[in-house]
Structure formats: structure tokens, C-alpha cells
Amino acid sequence: MTSIAAAQEAARQFSSTSSRLALQPLGRGLINDTYLVAEGGAHWVLQRINRRVFPDPVAVMANLRKVSDHARRVRRGCPESPWRLPEVIPARTGEDIHRDERGDYWRAISYIDHARSLDSFANAEQAGQVGRALGWFHGLVSELPADSLHDTLPGFHVTPLYLAGFDRVVDGLTDWPATSGLGEALAFVAARRGEADVLESAKAQGKLQPRVMHGDPKLDNVLFDTRTGQAVSLIDLDTVKPGLLHYDLGDCFRSCCNSAGECMGQGSAAFDRRVFRAILEGYLREAAHILTRDDRDYLFEAIRLLPFELGLRFLTDHLAGDVYFKVDEPGQNLSRALGQFRLTLDIEQQERAIRHILNQIM
């Protein structure tokens, strides 16, 4: 976390008054440093963009500005809509981003009042609201050409590239980690490596088209109105970029439908079809009109692929020495990988039932 003094200094660059600024850490994000700023009677959000993850903060902000401005125009045409996105607050210089004397990049966005994220679902209705939030976002950005946004994370969610990275790490190993479960994980990858390019191959054939995607549509990033209980926003827009909608859908189902929880390790992992059905129904209420026949035909492949992809990334990092994902103890990334692989296996074992739900609803 950046020092509070540095954050105070950055906040003053976005302040519109001479009021005293009060800052406090906000959210549970592991990437950017985020603060809630109280200025007089108003609140807004200050963030330091993590350049280790986002090497081009200017491009990140250009994407955010484009999507934010588009959402504001749509909202003007439908003011009664409950849906909204955070809006960019320019610095005193008129720029959307401020670079401090240490070389850190900061930005300010509006704060959505009377809204909170959830740690878990209390009922199927909340799961349906997550689906609606993602569907609303996809419908909103469907009017923006994918090539009008910067690709701020090249290769993100492109599973064949992760597999190639895994192979490079394996080829470079001289001493294998003596970790229980490693053989199981390596065998799992070996048995499924031929299926890693299913979505990218469909894209190359023209069956799936690049769209604007969110990039991280997990439960933490959906805001619910504290008064109505309805979803009202999908936040954390740093990962918005060109990609396949299937990456978002597969990752949302991976994150939300795992009965063992998002951050589980080797514990029991199971794909909850009740939650899946609720999310899918909610999504289609908002976004059925933007899906092509091919989009629908490849949904199961996305549901199966995304947990495999994350497990592959965890396993690669374990073999590389835990250089990307933070760990609290040795072997944690291997444990995470095995958890995702067991979720993948459960999805495969439920394929007939999952496809039945897809066919029923779609």
C-alpha cells in the first residue's frame, strides 16, 4: 500500500475545492491501491494504478474514459435506469491521470452511493442479479467497436499462450519441486492440452468475434443497491479491453458457481448448477439480443475452459517459483491449481446436465 502522505498529495491534484480531504482504504482489491476520499459532503475514489500489472496506465485510462463516457450518454437517454458505471474525474490539469514525482500514476472516479459488493450469495435471486449485471454491461458496450479500445493486457485469457508459457517453464526446469500432488496436476494438463485452443480456434475461423469485454466479472465487482437489493453496477474496469464475451462468461461462472468458494485450494470443488441457471437466466434477460448462434454453441466450452486456464496459470507459477500470484506458504499455488482442476473435472462430469440447462434456457 502506498503511504497515506503520497495518497493525500495525489488526491489534492483531483480536488475541486479547498475542503479538507479525508482518505481511508477502500475495498479488498489486490492490484491497485484504492482510497475513498471525503471532500466536504461528497465522496469519490482515488486509485494508484499498479504498473507491474498495467504497464500502460494511459491506455487503461483511455479505455475507461471511452466506456464511462458511453455509459453516461446512454444514461442520459434513459435516466430512470438503475444501472450506472463510475465516471472519470479529471485532474486539475484537465488530464484523466496524474503522474506524481515518484512516477506513480493516479486516477479519480466517482463513488456510487448506497451500493456494496457481496462476499457470497444468500439466495438464487442474488446470483441472477450478477448475471443481469454482466448482461447489462455486455449490452452497453456492444455498441463500441472492439478495435476502438486499447489491448491493455495482450494475451489475457488466451489459453494457448498460457500453455506455451507453461511449456517454457517446464522445459527450463532442472530441479522439480518435491510437492505432493504435482504429478496429478501435470497429468491433468497433459490430458487436456489438446482442448486449450477451442475458443481461439473458433475466433480464427470467424465463428466468434472479438467484442469489448470486462475482463474480471467476479462477484466482488458487482455492486448491489443497499436499499433495493438489486445489482446496479459492474466495477473494476481496468481490464476492459477487446476479447471474447466467452472469457467473461466462463470466468463469471468459474468464480460464482464453485461451491467451495473463489479462493479455495485443494478442498472440495463442485459446480453449482442452481447458481449457474440463475446467473444464465439473469444474463439473458439483459443480453440475449447480442448473442449469435455460434456464441451460444460455444458456451459450454467457455464454462469448462476458464477454470482449466486459471489452474494452468497457478501451476505454472508454482513451477516458476511463485513469481506472480502471492502465496502465504510453499505449495499454495499448486493447491490452488488442483482446486481449479477439480472444478474443471466436476464440470466435465456434469456436461450433459449443464448442456441441458443451456438448451432449455437458450
Continuous H helices in 78-197: 124-141, 159-171, 182-192
| Model confidence pLDDT, tens digit, residues 125-168 | 999 999 999 999 999 999 999 999 999 999 999 999 999 999 99
DSSP one-letter string for 330-356: TTHHHHHHHHHHHHHHHHHHTHHHHHH
| Model confidence pLDDT, tens digit, residues 215-245 | 999 999 999 999 999 999 999 999 999 999 9
**CA dihedral sign of residues 272, 274, 277, 282:** negative
Query: What long-range pairs does 76-80 form, CB within 8 A, spacing at least 24?
Result: none
124-361 is classed in which CATH architecture? Alpha-Beta Complex (3.90)
Helix (H) or strand (E) holding 10: helix 4-12
Superfamily of domain 4-111: Phosphorylase Kinase; domain 1 (3.30.200.20)
The model carries a pTM of: 0.92
8 Å CB contact between 269 and 346? yes
Longest distance between any two alpha carbons in the chain, whole Å:
62
| Model confidence pLDDT, tens digit, residues 322-344 | 988 888 899 999 999 999 999 99
Report the SS3 class of residue 241: strand
d(CA 272, CA 187): 25
Domains 4-111 and 124-361 belong to one CATH topology: no
Q: How many CA atoms lie within 13 A of 72 on its CB side?
A: 11
d(CA 250, CA 273): 14
d(CA 43, CA 124): 32
Strand partners, 25: 35
Domain boundaries, the chain: 4-111, 124-361
